[in-house]
Structure 1
Amino acid sequence: MLRTVLTCLALALGLAASTASAAEPTPKAFPSREERLESLARLWGQVRYRHPALAYKNLDWDAALVAAIPKVEAAKDRAAYAAAVQDMLDELRDPATRILRPDEQQEGSQKGPAVAVRELRTWESKDVLVLDLRAVKDAAAMGTLRARPEELRPDISKAKAIIVDLRARGLEPNVAWSMSTALGRLLPYLLSEELQVPGERRVYHSGFRPQSLGGTSGGYGTSFLTTAGEELSPKGDGKARPVIFLLDDKSYLDPRALAMKAQGLAQLVTEGRLDDGAVVDQTQVELGAGLTASVRLSELGIPMRADAVLPKRARSDKDETLQKALELAKKPAKKGKAARETELPPARWQADRKYEDMLYPNREHRLLALFRLWNVIHLFYPYKHLLSRDWDSALTTFLPKFEKAKDAAEYALAVAELSTLVQDGHTNLRGHPELEKRGITGVSAPFEAMELDGSAVVMSVRNAEAAPGLARGMVIETIDGKPLAERMKGLEPYVTASHPVHLRHRLLAKALAGPEGSQGTLGVRDAGGKIKQVRFTRSIQSLQKPKQGEPYRVLAGNIGYVDLTLLQTAEVAAMFEKLKGTKAIVFDMRGYPNGTAWSIAPYLNTRKARQAAVFERNVVSGDETVGRYKFIQELPKADVPLYRGRTVMLIDERAISQSEHSGLFFEAANGTTFIGSPSAGANGDITDLVLPGGISMIFTGHDVRHVDGRQLQRVGLRPQLYVRPTLAGIQSGRDEVLDKALEYLSGGSTAVAGDSIR
């Protein structure tokens, strides 16, 4: 409480004092409570994923947010709002990450009293050379420093001490940058020994590292990227002499000058306290009410300490700073030190806290859940540009839903509803009992169903013992005595998918799912119209039970058939040996494969293709808010005989993720034809985030495209020949999709790509 009062007072005084040296900005409307919270969320996320300290320090950034929320809400004016946010930032103990003063937010020239700019070279006390780099405003001075710095060598050799003026108050920002360029050309002539300048480092998130999955094939990770340092050699006479840099709170502090100070080759005199925010990269976050927060993006392993700190300049007719530098110039030059930089700790990744014991988190932790989920998707979700609704508006829409959740169930449902905005067939939730109670998560039924002709139809029974009496072709009308359509309708606000057909498929699957070991009762109608009740048991064991059937065989007309949901990698060579004499192969991908695409593709690569798919994942670092790491996946190679017959792949909405990726491999290898209906349209290695209440949310971490760059996500593999099974066909024992494929391979179909795709 005391710190808040003092911070508020200091900020208020700072705001008032700054008007003496800078024009007060135009008053901005004070943002509403909701707007302040939204700005806080964005700032918290920028720090969480871009500030280097969060990658190795043991800081409870969640707690800092939780403590800040009520203070930000209670703020009645600009100063109190600024103090509340600053209190949160103070947890970082980083002077470079803070609320900016009004004068620091001015655009254009750096306002405030400044001494007159001198000529590039002047002398003080006969033997002290003053190099005023502010003279770079003059073209001739800039030309000397940029193109002919060696012209300064005679004067530097005559000097017993050198003062370099880098004060930037009163200058245009471009002049300050020109001074930095000029300093780089000048420094070698000031050195008496080799100068080691360390590189900067930034946190680097390559995709979003999974929080609870225990690993993924995506290769997502968090690390530090450190730029290579440089070594500068002396170009002068090599004589040691005092070198003093003059700085103010507007100066850009060149890392090379800071390295000279750390190595004992220079001294620093500042007007106003200067921190290493003057030398590292930063970003700014607008908070409303004319407030802006600055956030550190990089760090140096060099301590920032001035030899003398003078008050900020209040008048321009007396240069106390120069006088202080002249005093220091009388002292002998310090000898270089062996220890030149501070050892920065290595990255130490820590998963976000799940707060499993908070099934119904308090209001602040519910907002933490909202802010964390929003920021992760905002920064890391690679398909954000494909979402139907603007993700930015999600904060505004869901803030009241998370705040007003009156119990654990409403909280979990608010999370589920927000997750549906991420229109991705991989998006799934788990870990909260209320989600399982309402069928949003749970164990799948021991059979597979699809929507055909408006009815939910049993397509296969995975474990007959767990669902006695259930058979392919039966129509499901009720679940536990209630209409199945009613159960699916109730799940609509909480389930998402990449496109409407796959959404219906997911709704059906979740309507039939439930807790491990639970039983359900189906009301089913057989082909003869007879209604009966079938009881079934849900269990992981049923799902792990191996599927029955032949993984491959030869059909009539010398056409091979491969069920990719059954085929194992160890069977691929034998499969091609058996089918090598066939004129064509049908690959049935109406389900999920067993990692066989990598072994199959070399047998099909008659095109001698090298590439299979285009990958991109979001990169979040100190360089860009969101960038992209792009790579092209190579087709696997193997010394195997080529299969030169035609190939087709059967697909529908049950083909998702690795199923679709198998299609990309086969398409690239030999132009495999797709027959059926569009796949799920959800591809890219998964990752997950975690939220209070033990909730884990899975989502896609990679943007994956056809090798020619065509979109796959939310579109799916598109069949060249569209065909959909019918209820009558299933009940009569026919496989209409396979039949159409065989007709096509026998030359009986004239359909071309795109003529019947829906």
Structure 2
Amino acid sequence: MSRTLLPRFLLTLGLVAWTASAAPPTAAPALPSSEERLAHLARLWGQVKYRHPALAYKDIDWDAALVAAIPQVEAAGDAAAYAQAVQEMLEALKDPATRVLRPDETPEGTASSAQSPARASDRWPAKEVLLLDLSAPQPETLRADLAKAKAILLDLRARGLDAQAPEVMWRALGDVLPLLLTQSLQVPGERTVFHSGYRAHTLPPNGRFNSSLLTTSGEVIAPRGQGKPRPVIFLLDDQSPVDARVLTMKAQGLAQIITEGRLDDGASAEKTRVELGAGLVATVRLSELGVPLRADAVLPRRARSEGKDETLQKALELARKPVRKVKSREVELPPGRWRADAAYPEMTYPGREYRLLALFRLWNVVELFYPYKHLMDSDWDGALRTFLPRFAQAKDAAQYALAVAEMSALLRDGHVTLHGHPELEKRGIAGGFAPFEVMELDGKPVVVRVGDAAAAPGIKKGQVLETLDGQPLAQRMEALKPYVTASHAAALRYRLWARALSGPDGSQATVGVRDTDGQLKQVRFTRSLRPAPPSGDPWRLSQDNVGYVDLTRLMPAEVAPLFEKMKSTRALVLDMRGYPNGTLWALTPYLTTRKVRYGAVFERNVVSAGESTGRYKFHEELPQANVPLYRGRTVMLIDERTISQAELTGLFLEAANGTTFIGTPSAGANGDVTNLVLPGGIALLFSGEDVRHADGRQLQRVGLKPQVYARPTLAGIRSGKDEVLEQALEFLRGQGNSAVGPPR
């Protein structure tokens, strides 16, 4: 029988025996439903994908392993078939440490097992051979006993002992081991996967999010033994605390190993356990060593106390042989290699297993890496169960793409954007934008800016939109609600109106608009993925010696000339109702009049061997430069179009000089964007970091809050007024309303 088939065969035999013996009064755990089994499979698949070191450098098609396992897991009629189906998926790793445990290895199995195997009570089972039971306290005569011993046996067998025994033995080994050494022992470190945030799969690397293999520093154990090296034999079983110290001594010829039952290098690996239901548990390797595990003798695994201790007898036999010095067998591990996930762009309507792959991938990435999961309105764990039938039963490409969109909308993140699938573009969920900007004013969608007049001849500021291609625009907007998300209600309305006008890049559509004269007219426009940037001068001076700066137009190279021009003004109005051009780092040094160091607090998820969802927190420093300080007052105009880097600009200036915010709350969506890919060529963008005010206050889903509330009106837009700017100028004259929030 091949080595690959043997674990499956033994596992199946063990499960058959377990299920057969699970008669009343102790009933076997119920087999979970098909959907519950798939949910367990999803979690296991994700733990392996993002925490198992082999997937960081080996060519393993982990997607294919899942695709093959899904129908087998669904078809399983009992626990044994279920376990075998899961085990077959894990076989793709060729890793004995990552497997479905035998029933007697689970906590339930251990609790019901027979009494512990006998442990020798004689400290001297043979002349001048010392036996140390490391599960028991060591006597005060230990040093004297070691001095007269010609060979030392260390009993690390833990099977049948209480759950604390391996930890007790591990600690005892640390105390005893130096006393056995007559030369320094260089113990290598272990290697684990480390994800700092989620590295984007199609976007350019931003330097913040990365995946790596980390090797811990090894240790040098100084010798405290005397005389010549003596035979040292470790007695192990499948519950023993096998670590790098034991393996290194074996690899360097300083010790021998006897095992009860066959062991492999998984015995020394750090592992995590994943519940599968039906009383089944899988273990997943989290670490690896460059030192192999090679036993000098393998004996059958004992389960009962009666009978002779054959393992001890074999150890005594080895103790009579002289110590042989061997060359160290330390292995150089291959370097890490990051690869983007397969997007399967040709699968616009993926097969059922690949649709479930999309679900599992999306769920695990959000579960492990989304930094704002704690702010979501819905239970993400429950979302896995809810969307399982939606993905599995999708009848065509449209239903599949809409299931992805609806699930992604649960994130309530203004950065969430989908692209890459034609069915998403048809409905405006992805694709090009209209060449004009719409905001909801007085309950109506109003044109507030025209970006490219040539692409929408006849569109003007102040027009109210009513129809799209002859159908009510509000009706299209309502249809998009399950599939479009944002961080708060106002930002969602803005995105919904924009998406209601969206469609395939380069496509055309006709809107029905109503002018001030009340007449409804039809205007043809062309969509584009790259809306025209704002045009015009980025700054100007008012009669009150107040400077106005449009940060959506200002470029980094223009910052120095700006402050030269504005150095004698008494105040600056910084218009941030849109997206900036990376000017924040050039702008901030001119405005840092406070003695502060940090402008914002960042946190991102860390996935590693130690933590499946830890956090890395750091303070973002304000940029410094040797430039003249501007000491006039500054206000920033904000609304729901103020998003991401625009909000970071606000955070920096809030910390730098206490800039006042005027307008309505910003979008509440900040944190460097990253993305994942799904079958069908779908790319999903989301916020990769949790960004907060410098004092730790929440920004996401709240936004920058204005100290002075100001909102444009339809009448103001039609009359050519900028009511928010006017309110800012009044505030700077000392006549403005300083109340927070909208007027009552």
Q: TM range, normalised to the smaller chain?
A: over 0.9
Task: Note if contact 1:112-1:169 (Cα within 8 Å) is conserved in structure 2.
Answer: no
Q: Which residue of 1 aligns with 2:490?
A: 501
Matched, 1:152 2:139: no
Q: Per-residue deviation at 1:234?
A: 1.7
Task: Note if contact 1:21-1:111 (Cα within 8 Å) is conserved in structure 2.
Answer: no
Task: Note if contact 1:110-1:250 (Cα within 8 Å) is conserved in structure 2.
Answer: no
Q: Which residue of 1 aligns with 2:274?
A: 285
Q: Tell me, what secondary structure is at the counterpart of 1:67?
A: helix
Matched, 1:306 2:307: no
Aligned partner letter, 2:370: Y
Aligned partner letter, 2:250: K
- 2:227 and 2:18 map into 1 onto residues whose CA distance is 44
Q: Which residue of 1 aligns with 2:136?
A: 135
- 2:638 and 2:246 map into 1 onto residues whose CA distance is 64
Task: Note if contact 1:113-1:169 (Cα within 8 Å) is conserved in structure 2.
Answer: no
- 2:219 and 2:227 map into 1 onto residues whose CA distance is 19
% identity of equivalent residues: 65
Q: Per-residue deviation at 1:504?
A: 0.9
Q: Per-residue deviation at 1:757?
A: 7.8
Q: Tell me, what secondary structure is at the counterpart of 1:617?
A: strand
Q: Per-residue deviation at 1:12?
A: 4.0
Q: Per-residue deviation at 1:685?
A: 0.2
Matched, 1:627 2:614: yes
Matched, 1:740 2:727: yes
Q: Which residue of 2 aligns with 1:652?
A: 639
With structure 2 as the length reference, what TM-score do the two structures score?
Answer: 0.96
5 Å-filtered alignment, 1:554-569, equals 554-569=541-556
Pick the aligned partner of 1:712 from 694, 699, 705.
699
Deviations 1:29-76 (A, max 9, x none): 211111111110111111111111111111011111111100011101
- 1:499 and 1:238 map into 2 onto residues whose CA distance is 74
Q: Per-residue deviation at 1:409?
A: 1.3
- 1:66 and 1:745 map into 2 onto residues whose CA distance is 63
Q: Which residue of 2 aligns with 1:196?
A: 186
Pick the aligned partner of 2:205 from 199, 215, 219.
215
Deviations 1:585-640 (A, max 9, x none): 11000111111111111111111211000000000111011000000000000111
Q: Which residue of 1 aligns with 2:418?
A: 429
Q: Which residue of 2 aligns with 1:480?
A: 469
- 1:653 and 1:193 map into 2 onto residues whose CA distance is 68
5 Å-filtered alignment, 1:546-585, equals 546-585=533-572
Task: Note if contact 1:719-1:757 (Cα within 8 Å) is conserved in structure 2.
Answer: no
- 1:538 and 1:756 map into 2 onto residues whose CA distance is 34
Deviations 1:3-50 (A, max 9, x none): 999866533422465799999975212111111111101111111111
Larger mean CA deviation between 679-688 and 275-284 belongs to 275-284
- 1:341 and 1:757 map into 2 onto residues whose CA distance is 73
Q: Per-residue deviation at 1:401?
A: 0.9
Deviations 1:496-552 (A, max 9, x none): 1111111111111111122222112121111221222221222346x2x45321111
Q: Which residue of 2 aligns with 1:245?
A: 234
Matched, 1:456 2:445: yes
- 2:117 and 2:365 map into 1 onto residues whose CA distance is 48
Q: Tell me, what secondary structure is at the counterpart of 1:91?
A: helix
- 1:96 and 1:7 map into 2 onto residues whose CA distance is 11
- 2:20 and 2:145 map into 1 onto residues whose CA distance is 40
Matched, 1:688 2:688: no
Matched, 1:85 2:86: yes
5 Å-filtered alignment, 1:359-374, equals 359-374=348-363
Q: Tell me, what secondary structure is at the counterpart of 1:123?
A: coil
Gaps in structure 1 of 5+ consecutive residues: none
Q: Per-residue deviation at 1:159?
A: 2.4
- 1:243 and 1:6 map into 2 onto residues whose CA distance is 32
1:757 and 1:198, CA in 2 relative to 1: closer, same or farther beyond 3 A? farther
1:109 and 1:403, CA in 2 relative to 1: closer, same or farther beyond 3 A? closer
1:552 and 1:194, CA in 2 relative to 1: closer, same or farther beyond 3 A? same
Q: Per-residue deviation at 1:115?
A: 4.3
- 1:34 and 1:65 map into 2 onto residues whose CA distance is 15
Task: Note if contact 1:355-1:693 (Cα within 8 Å) is conserved in structure 2.
Answer: yes
Q: Which residue of 2 aligns with 1:440?
A: 429
- 1:86 and 1:666 map into 2 onto residues whose CA distance is 55
Larger mean CA deviation between 177-186 and 156-165 belongs to 156-165
Q: Per-residue deviation at 1:457?
A: 1.0
Larger mean CA deviation between 4-13 and 622-631 belongs to 4-13
Matched, 1:731 2:721: no
Q: Tell me, what secondary structure is at the counterpart of 2:412?
A: coil
- 1:354 and 1:277 map into 2 onto residues whose CA distance is 32
Larger mean CA deviation between 617-626 and 322-331 belongs to 322-331
Matched, 1:50 2:51: yes
Pick the aligned partner of 1:465 from 454, 466, 489.
454
Task: Note if contact 2:4-2:91 (Cα within 8 Å) is conserved in structure 1.
Answer: no
- 1:750 and 1:724 map into 2 onto residues whose CA distance is 13
Matched, 1:39 2:29: no
Q: Per-residue deviation at 1:750?
A: 4.0
Matched, 1:332 2:322: yes
Q: Tell me, what secondary structure is at the counterpart of 1:135?
A: coil
Larger mean CA deviation between 688-697 and 153-162 belongs to 153-162
Pick the aligned partner of 2:648 from 628, 637, 661.
661
- 1:703 and 1:309 map into 2 onto residues whose CA distance is 52
1:546 and 1:71, CA in 2 relative to 1: closer, same or farther beyond 3 A? closer
Q: Per-residue deviation at 1:114?
A: 3.9
- 2:473 and 2:20 map into 1 onto residues whose CA distance is 72
Larger mean CA deviation between 708-717 and 443-452 belongs to 443-452
Q: Per-residue deviation at 1:314?
A: 4.1
Q: Which residue of 1 aligns with 2:104?
A: 103
Q: Per-residue deviation at 1:487?
A: 1.4
- 1:274 and 1:480 map into 2 onto residues whose CA distance is 70
Pick the aligned partner of 1:260 from 242, 249, 262.
249
Deviations 1:390-425 (A, max 9, x none): 111111111111111111111111111111111111
Matched, 1:605 2:595: no
Q: Tell me, what secondary structure is at the counterpart of 2:492?
A: helix
- 1:432 and 1:200 map into 2 onto residues whose CA distance is 42
1:183 and 1:253, CA in 2 relative to 1: closer, same or farther beyond 3 A? same
- 1:388 and 1:39 map into 2 onto residues whose CA distance is 23
Task: Note if contact 1:725-1:736 (Cα within 8 Å) is conserved in structure 2.
Answer: yes
5 Å-filtered alignment, 1:165-180, equals 165-180=155-170
Q: Which residue of 1 aligns with 2:174?
A: 184
Q: Tell me, what secondary structure is at the counterpart of 1:494?
A: coil
- 1:757 and 1:223 map into 2 onto residues whose CA distance is 52
Matched, 1:677 2:664: yes
- 2:527 and 2:80 map into 1 onto residues whose CA distance is 58
- 1:358 and 1:336 map into 2 onto residues whose CA distance is 55
Q: Tell me, what secondary structure is at the counterpart of 1:560?
A: strand
- 1:555 and 1:12 map into 2 onto residues whose CA distance is 82
- 2:401 and 2:528 map into 1 onto residues whose CA distance is 24
Q: Tell me, what secondary structure is at the counterpart of 1:572?
A: helix
Task: Note if contact 2:16-2:80 (Cα within 8 Å) is conserved in structure 1.
Answer: no
- 1:504 and 1:650 map into 2 onto residues whose CA distance is 19
- 1:708 and 1:546 map into 2 onto residues whose CA distance is 34
RMSD: 2.2
- 2:4 and 2:149 map into 1 onto residues whose CA distance is 51
Q: Per-residue deviation at 1:99?
A: 1.0
Aligned partner letter, 2:718: Q
Q: Tell me, what secondary structure is at the counterpart of 2:248?
A: helix
Aligned partner letter, 1:152: L
Q: Which residue of 2 aligns with 1:525?
A: 514
Q: Per-residue deviation at 1:579?
A: 1.1
Q: Tell me, what secondary structure is at the counterpart of 2:692?
A: strand
Aligned partner letter, 1:50: R
Pick the aligned partner of 2:574 from 583, 587, 603.
587
Q: Per-residue deviation at 1:106?
A: 2.1
